[in-house]
Every structure is written in C-alpha cells, then in structure tokens.
C-alpha cells in the first residue's frame, strides 16, 4: 500500500509548479526571463524528484508532462468546432483600398472603420481547446473542417499554457493561432544538426510542420517551437466586442499574442502600418509574409459574415517577393513526367526569404535566350512565399571574362534519346514513353493528392520500387503484394499494408481524377471534368473521335489532339488493359442534375460583393450549369456586377438575359 503523501511535500510540489509555470510564461510568452537557466533547472529537478517519489503528486497540467517520450500509433482526426477558413489575398495598396470599399458597399456605409492589423506569421495553424482552463486537445488545420489531433505534441510547446491564468477563464474556449520558430532558433538548430550529421530543414515553416506531425512527442519537445494566439474557434460563457478586446483577453489568460499587432482607424493608417512592417520585416524575430487586416468591431464582423471559404471582414495583404544576388555555378537539365527537359540553375548558396537557396528555375530555352545568362554570372533571384526561386536577370557588369555559355543538350539526360523541339514550341522534349525519368514523374503525379491520392507512396518510395524492379508502369502498382513490399528496406508489414489499403481505394476513384492521374498533356482538372461528364466511362473517352472532342465546350484543338495521341499509343492501351484486369474501375462522373440552372451556360462579369469569382463559378456548376469566360450566342445568362465592360456590352448586343448579383443569388436560393 502506497504511503500517504506528506503535506509538506504536497505544498512544495504545488509551489514549484506555480514557480515553473510563471517562469515559463515570463520566458516564452513575455520574453522577459524571471530566472537564470541554472535556477530554473534546479526547480525543475526538484519537482521531478517529488513526483517520482510520490506519483500521486503528478497532475495533468504539471510542467514535467511537457517532455513525454511516448510514441503515438497515429494521429486521430479532430473535427473543428467551427471551420478554420482561409483568407482572401490582396497584393497592392490599390487592392487593399478596393477591399475596404467593397466592405463599405456591403455595409451600405462609408463611415470610418477601425481595423486590427497583425503581422502574418509564416507558420502552421493550430487550434487549442481548453475546458475549465485546462488544455484538453490541440489540432492542426487539416482541410479546415477536420484536422489531426496533435495534443501530445502541443503540450511540449512551452509557450502554450497547460492551464489558463487569471479570474476570467471561460468554461470552454477554442483558441486559434500559429506555431512558429524564431529565426535565430532555427539557424542554431540547423547549425547543431549539421555538426551532428543529422537532418537540417529548408525553412522555419517546414521545420514546425514536420515537428508537429512527429509521432514521438519527445522530438518536438526538444525543438524550439513557439505559439502566437490570435483568433477564436468558439467560446462559452463570455463574448468579446472586438478583435482588439479578444487579443487583450487572450493575453490576460496567459496565451502569447503578437506584440506588433495594432488597432488603427481608416485605410490610410493601415497602409502606413503595412509599410512599417514591410520595412521591419528582416529585423523581426520571426518570418512573416504579409499583414492580416481584420474589421475590429465584432458586430460589424457578424453583419459582414462569410463567403463560402473566407470571411468578408478579413484579408491577407501579402508582401512582395524578395530578391537577392548570387553566382550561377552551373546548369543541370531535368526530365519531367511529360518528357519536357528543363534547365535548372545551380547557385552559390544565398539566404533569401527565410530559405537557403541553392537552385532556381530557368524555365525553358526562350527564357535562357532572353536572360542571356552565362555560367559564372552574378544573377538576381526572386522568391515569393513558397514559390520556387527564379532567376530574374544576369548582371553583365560583374563579369570577369571567366564566364562561359550554357550548353544545350541534344540527348535526354535520363535515357539518351534524341531531343526534339516542335515548331513554334519552347520546350525540348524526350519522345521516349519508356524514359525512366518520365516514368518516375508520372507515378509520383498519379499517386498525388489531386489524382489517385495514394498516401504513403511518395517520390522516395517510387524510386525504391523502380530500383527494385517491382514496377515498370502505373499498372504494376495495382499488382503489388504485401510480402514483397514488406521485405523492402524501411518498409515492414505495417507500411506495406497501409500503402496497399490506399492502392485498393484508388481502384475506384472518380473518372475525372483518374484522367488527371494519367498525365495526358493539356488535360488538367477542368478538362478531366469535361471529358468525364461528356463520355461517362474511360472506354468512352478512349473511343472519342476528334470531332466529338471538339464539339465540347472549352475543348480546343491542343487538348483534343493530346487525348487522341495518348490513347493511340500502344503502351498506354496495354497499361489500361492491365489496370482493368487488376480491378481498376473508375467511377462514372455525372453532371449535377436538378439544379435551377441545369443545362445553361452562364457568364459572370464585373465585381461581385457576396461571392468571389471562384465561389460563383462553383455555385453555377453545382446547380447544373456550365460556367464560361466568354459571351457568345450559346450563352444563356450573364451575371453582371459593377465594372462589367465589354462582356456586358456584347451580351446586350446579342439580346441575352442579364441579371445582377442579387437576382443571381435569389435564383440560386442563397437569399
């Protein structure tokens, strides 16, 4: 029978927990250390010793629970209490002012508005759930509706309080914010990793995202990840009258908030603050890629409401791309899944937009000719967000005479097939359908999320399958067996079964996604939808004539010819027959039926207030119509908003029916 805990030990443990929590708050939230590291360590060790001696003293919110060593079986899905939506973007001051004006029109008022202006942290969104002040769950954004439950990992982030502070703690609250890594912490981590010969990371955002998804929570516990809170997913028992009031309340609860956030009145003040943050960007402790502007008043937020995917009362104003100069060391040539051979710049490493850049795109032969760049040149680079860096220009004034022209290949770097360049085209192309580089790219594309979504089958796994001779084309994926997969290095039975379950599900993906997966040139997501709805089955698409293809709206000669060429290739037909034998049965895709706009062709022009252009297009197609970008005699209806120009004029000349956005929403059942 366990001995009773001495009251003295119980009181001391409680006091230590209070001291350590306060020290964590001062260090990680307020950036104002209270104790020296040695003092903190001594208190921490004492608490660990007490909890080890008397396990009854260990509480769920004890600071010692932040460094677990357990390995989770996997992340469970977590349904957010309300959608974690994304924000619309603007890129210029004119765009931002137009967003403000659109809000005035929606509110039917041009009275000066107050805005909350916050740096847009380049991190990873995380929702925290507190019940009676205690952290009970944490989840990633996921698809906005369902994320991954990463509670164990979130508990290891020291700037996230395990228990909220103060007298005004709600009975239940869902806090939303951003996990991030300070620039200095990130550089120090990478330096230590290089010295130890372990993995380094490309940028702080990838570092944080990978850390949150570690199954072993001792790994993120050892990494310098922090958190800023800036929004709510819901709250019970209290309300907040404005974004500024909410931020103050979150800070009072012990949550870290963004110190550079401001509440300002009028668009001019916001524009000025954007300029200040853009100028301070490099000197700030963390990476940011823009500014988030929110209507501050909660009542106005409610009145403005939501679009389908984003709030009408908030916008992300992105920073322009960043630039740097470095030297071009060499050019290599890569082969894509469609056989296009493209040049890539190999550069002296340079730090740009939060990333050490060693490679950049050079696009194609025309771009090389335009740039007139030579190996050895000093070049200027540009990078925006997560976009691949590109070479903007060479600096010929920096030449020393040791530069030399870039050698253009005549044979495929992967299979030595002679390269061709079609008349009027910019791309060099390898015409060998059996080219190993094309096959690797095709399989990675086929397994991707926008295609058959075979999770667990990334580029490294595909390289391994090709190297081991287990696949020679896409059909072989559907013939893999558990025994052979499990025997591969770093696989095992569990990994093999997981991938095979994904492959099984991929046998019956919708036909449009299957067509995307085939990687037919010119056939993207929209083209695949058109083909799938028009012909119903894979056999129907394969048997389509050129005339039948060209009769379809939005199908031009290039797409039609690509489809005919792809299905005429004997290797492709043989692959499809083997897929069918292996049980691949793409599902028929039906056009939406029974909608109020069924069978109509609708053109949307001008500025819409309640919907973005993409949202309006999805609404049109969801109600059985076809959304078109051009007005013709075949157009049935034109939705015209403010600023409609030539398309409205043409519609009037043709005598077409024209309605405004309000009537469109009424007919669509949205008002």
Residues taking part in catalysis:
120
Helices (H), 454-510: 459-467, 482-486, 492-506
Please count the CA atoms within 13 angstroms of the CA of 196 that sit on its side-chain side: 9
DSSP 3-state percent helix, strand, coil across the chain (nearest 5): 40, 20, 40
How far apart (Å, rounded) are the C-alpha atoms in residues 155 and 656? 61
Contact 67, 73 (CB under 8 A): no
Cβ-contact 379, 396 below 8 angstroms: no
- What are the backbone dihedrals phi and psi of residue 252, each rounded to the nearest 5 degrees, phi first? -65, -25
CB 335 within 8 A of CB 437: yes
132 CB-contact burial (10 Å; exposed 0-12 / middle 13-18 / buried 19+) = exposed
Give me the DSSP letters along 224-245: --EEEEEEEEEEES---SBHHH
Which residue from 395, 430, 390 is spatially nearest to 414, judged by alpha carbons? 430
For 282, residues 6+ apart whose C-beta sits below 8 A from its C-beta are: none
| SS (HEC) of 8-60 | HHHHHHHHHHHHHHHHHHHHHHCCCCCCCHHHHHHHHHHHHHHHHHCHHHCCC
Residues whose CB is less than 8 angstroms from the CB of residue 312 and which lie 6 or more positions away in sequence, other chains included:
103, 106, 304, 305, 306
Question: In the Cβ-directed half-sphere of 469, how many Cα atoms lie within 13 Å?
Answer: 0
How far is 116 from 260, CA to CA, in rounded Å?
A: 11
Query: Which among 228, 232, 254 is positioned nearest to 129, based on CA atoms?
Result: 232
The beta strand positions in 336-442, using DSSP E, are 340-352, 355-361, 378-383, 390-394, 419-420, 428-430
The span from the CA of 357 to the CA of 392, in Å, is: 14
Nearest to 251, CA basis, from 273, 227, 274: 227
> DSSP 3-state assignment of 277?
helix
Nearest to 180 by CA among 236, 225, 133: 225
Query: Measured between alpha carbons, how far is 648 from 604 in angstroms, rounded to an integer?
Result: 9
Cα–Cα nearest to 592, from 622, 613, 565: 622
CA distance 75 to 172: 23
Look at strands 340-352 and 322-335 and give their pairing.
antiparallel
């Amino acid at each position: 029978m366990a001995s009773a805990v001495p009251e003295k030990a119980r009181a001391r443990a409680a006091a230590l927990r209070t001291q350590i929590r306060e020290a964590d708050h001062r260090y990680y939230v307020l950036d104002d250390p209270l104790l020296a590291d040695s003092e903190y360590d001594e208190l921490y060790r004492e608490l660990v010793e007490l909890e080890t001696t008397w396990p009854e003293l260990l509480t769920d919110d004890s600071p010692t629970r932040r460094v677990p060593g357990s390995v989770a079986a996997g992340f469970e899905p977590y349904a957010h209490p309300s959608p974690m939506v994304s924000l619309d973007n603007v890129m210029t001051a004119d765009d931002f002012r137009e967003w403000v004006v659109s809000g005035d029109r929606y509110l039917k008022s041009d009275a000066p508005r107050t805005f909350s202006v916050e740096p847009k942290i380049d991190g990873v969104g995380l929702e925290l759930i507190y019940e009676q002040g205690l952290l009970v769950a944490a989840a990633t954004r996921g698809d906005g509706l369902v994320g991954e439950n990463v509670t164990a990992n979130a508990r290891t982030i020291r700037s996230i309080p395990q228990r909220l502070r103060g007298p005004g703690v709600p009975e239940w609250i869902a806090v939303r914010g951003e996990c991030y890594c300070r620039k200095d912490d990130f550089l120090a981590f990478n330096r230590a990793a290089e010295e130890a010969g372990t993995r380094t990371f490309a940028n702080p955002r990838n570092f944080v995202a990978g850390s949150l998804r570690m199954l072993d929570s001792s790994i993120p516990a050892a990494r310098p990840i922090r958190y800023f809170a800036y929004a709510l997913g819901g709250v019970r028992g209290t309300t907040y009258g404005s974004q500024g009031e909410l931020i103050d309340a979150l800070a009072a609860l012990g949550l870290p908030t963004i110190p550079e956030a401001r509440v300002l009145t009028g668009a001019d003040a916001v524009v000025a603050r954007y300029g200040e943050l853009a100028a301070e960007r490099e000197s700030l402790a963390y990476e940011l890629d823009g500014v988030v502007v929110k209507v501050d008043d909660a009542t106005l937020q409610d009145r403005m409401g939501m679009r389908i995917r984003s709030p009408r009362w908030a916008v992300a104003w992105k920073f322009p791309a960043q630039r740097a100069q470095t030297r071009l060391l060499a050019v290599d040539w890569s082969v894509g899944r469609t056989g296009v051979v493209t040049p890539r710049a190999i550069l002296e490493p340079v730090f740009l937009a939060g990333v050490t850049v060693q490679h950049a795109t050079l696009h194609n032969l025309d771009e090389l000719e335009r740039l007139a760049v030579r190996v050895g040149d000093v070049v200027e680079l540009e990078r925006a967000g997560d976009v691949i860096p590109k070479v903007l220009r060479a600096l010929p004034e920096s030449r020393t005479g040791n530069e030399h022209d870039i050698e253009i290949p005549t044979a495929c770097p992967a299979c030595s097939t002679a390269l061709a360049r079609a008349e009027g085209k910019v791309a060099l192309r390898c015409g060998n359908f059996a080219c190993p580089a094309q096959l690797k790219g095709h399989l990675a594309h086929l397994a991707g999320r926008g295609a058959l979504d075979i999770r667990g089958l990334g580029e490294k796994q595909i390289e391994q399958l090709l190297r081991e001779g287990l696949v020679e084309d896409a059909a072989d994926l559907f013939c893999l067996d558990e025994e052979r997969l499990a025997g591969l290095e770093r696989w095992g039975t569990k990994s093999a079964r997981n991938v095979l379950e994904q492959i099984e599900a991929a046998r019956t993906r919708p036909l449009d996604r299957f067509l995307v997966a085939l990687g037919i040139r010119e056939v993207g997501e929209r083209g695949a939808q058109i083909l799938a709805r028009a012909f119903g089955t894979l056999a129907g698409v394969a048997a389509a004539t050129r005339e039948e293809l060209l009769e379809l709206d939005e199908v031009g000669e290039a797409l039609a010819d690509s489809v005919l060429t792809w299905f005429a290739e004997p290797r492709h037909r043989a692959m499809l027959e083997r897929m069918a034998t292996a049980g691949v049965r793409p599902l028929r895709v039906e056009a939406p039926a029974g909608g109020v706009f069924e069978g109509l062709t609708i053109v949307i022009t001008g500025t819409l207030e309640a919907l973005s252009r993409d949202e309006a297009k999805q609404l049109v197609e969801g109600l059985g119509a076809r959304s078109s970008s051009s007005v013709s005699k075949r157009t049935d209806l034109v939705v015209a908003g403010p600023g409609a120009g030539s398309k409205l004029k043409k519609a009037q000349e043709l005598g077409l029916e024209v309605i405004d956005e309000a009537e469109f929403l009424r007919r669509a059942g949205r008002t």
